[in-house]
């Protein structure tokens, strides 16, 4: 146990720092980094996970539990800057709650190998969209109408659960394309991410009473403190510098990680 902690502890601390900064800096990235990070760190130790098939479930659920305080921290930093659009929160929250509830129910019943494929493909698509997405002044305000918001937010909730993320990587581009300024979209996406993480964590906790316990509490306790501390730092950086180049580097890293995980399944 002691030697494994010596390996896991530094890895978790570094992972937490990266997650916190990226969550505040880009408004995305928490779960996109956490899931593969947890998957490989826990996979190289025998601290908790009984088998590889179960491991990806643990990574997804633990990611959500870690994201919750991290997103709360970055959200509070954005709220203090009065950058959040609360009307959009009211419109998108119901669909996200519905989607996450459905997603957790689905994930718990799907084989781990299939989930790894879904995660890898989803991560690759997200990374590609971040790299090749062209900035445009054209917007589609109708996307803020409830008849569009509800189905899209429900879909985002389901996808967020399968990717173990708060969903800002989906919500932020959607809001921005609807005509919401990017910084407002990022701030609002942080609050929406906290909602997603709360519902998912509660759902996984409820599942634990009825079956397998997916959340690795040791990982949560080790990663959360440093990620919470680093999230506001990422927010400060995001308000002081352009992040376009960082987004490209970040996306490239995500794509490589996704391909590595996919190669293990094929």
**What confidence category does residue 136 fall into, taking pLDDT thresholds of 50, 70 and 90?**
low
Mean pLDDT, residues 3-28: 74
pLDDT digits 0-9 by tens, 98-107: 999 999 989 8
- Give the model's confidence band at 152: pLDDT under 50 very low, under 70 low, under 90 confident, else very high: very high
Distance of CA 46 to the CA centre of its chain: 25
Q: What is the pLDDT of residue 241?
A: 67
Q: What is the pLDDT of residues 164-205, one digit of tens each?
A: 888 877 888 889 888 888 888 888 988 998 999 999 998 888
In this prediction, what percent of the chain has a pLDDT beyond 70? 82
pLDDT at 231 over 60: yes
- Of 264 and 38, the structure prediction assigns the larger pLDDT to 38
Tell me how far apart the alpha carbons of residues 111 and 54 are, in angstroms, rounded to a whole number: 8
pLDDT at 208: 63
pLDDT at 134: 64
Mean pLDDT of 204-208: 77
Burial (Cβ within 10 Å: 0-12, 13-18, ≥19) of residue 244: exposed
Are 230 and 128 contacting, i.e. CB atoms less than 8 angstroms apart? no
Question: Over the stretch 28-85, which tens digit does the pLDDT of each residue have?
Answer: 657 788 888 888 888 776 555 556 667 888 889 898 998 888 778 778 888 888 889 9
pLDDT at residue 1, as a whole number = 47
Q: Which residue has the higher pLDDT, 21 or 1?
A: 21
Which residues span the domain enclosing 62? 2-265
Angle of CA points 197, 115, 248, to nearest 5°: 70
How many domains, the chain? 1
pLDDT at 242: 66
Which residues, 6+ apart, have CB-to-CB distance to 56 below 8 Å?
Answer: 35, 39, 112, 115, 116, 119
Please check the confidence at residue 151 and state whether its pLDDT lies above 50.
Answer: yes
Cα-based distances in Å from 141 to 20, 59, 225: 31, 37, 39
What is the rounded average pLDDT of the residues 154-166? 91
């Amino acid at each position: 146990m002691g030697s494994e902690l010596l390996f896991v502890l530094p890895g978790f601390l570094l992972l937490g720092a990266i997650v916190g900064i990226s969550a505040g800096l880009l408004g995305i990235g928490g779960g996109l980094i956490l899931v593969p990070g947890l998957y490989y760190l826990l996979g190289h130790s025998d601290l908790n996970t009984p088998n590889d098939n179960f491991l990806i479930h643990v990574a997804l659920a633990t990611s959500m539990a870690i994201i919750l305080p991290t997103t709360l921290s970055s959200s509070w930093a954005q709220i203090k800057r009065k950058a959040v659009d609360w009307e959009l929160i009211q419109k998108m929250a119901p669909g996200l709650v519905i989607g996450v509830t459905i997603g957790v129910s689905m994930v718990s019943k799907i084989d781990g190998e299939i989930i790894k494929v879904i995660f890898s493909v989803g991560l690759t698509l997200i990374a590609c969209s971040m790299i090749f997405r062209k900035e445009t002044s054209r917007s589609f305000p109708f996307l803020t109408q409830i008849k569009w918001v509800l189905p899209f937010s429900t879909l985002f909730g389901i996808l967020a659960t399968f990717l173990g993320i708060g969903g800002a990587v989906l919500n932020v581009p959607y809001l921005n394309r609807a005509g919401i300024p990017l910084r407002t979209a990022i701030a609002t996406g942080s609050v929406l991410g906290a909602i997603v993480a709360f519902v998912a964590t509660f759902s996984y906790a409820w599942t634990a009473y009825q079956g397998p316990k997916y959340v690795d509490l040791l990982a949560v306790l080790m990663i959360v403190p440093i990620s919470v501390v680093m999230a506001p730092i990422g927010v400060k950086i995001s308000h002081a510098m352009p992040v376009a180049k960082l987004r490209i580097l970040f996306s490239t890293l995500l794509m490589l990680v996704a391909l590595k995980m996919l190669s293990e399944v094929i």
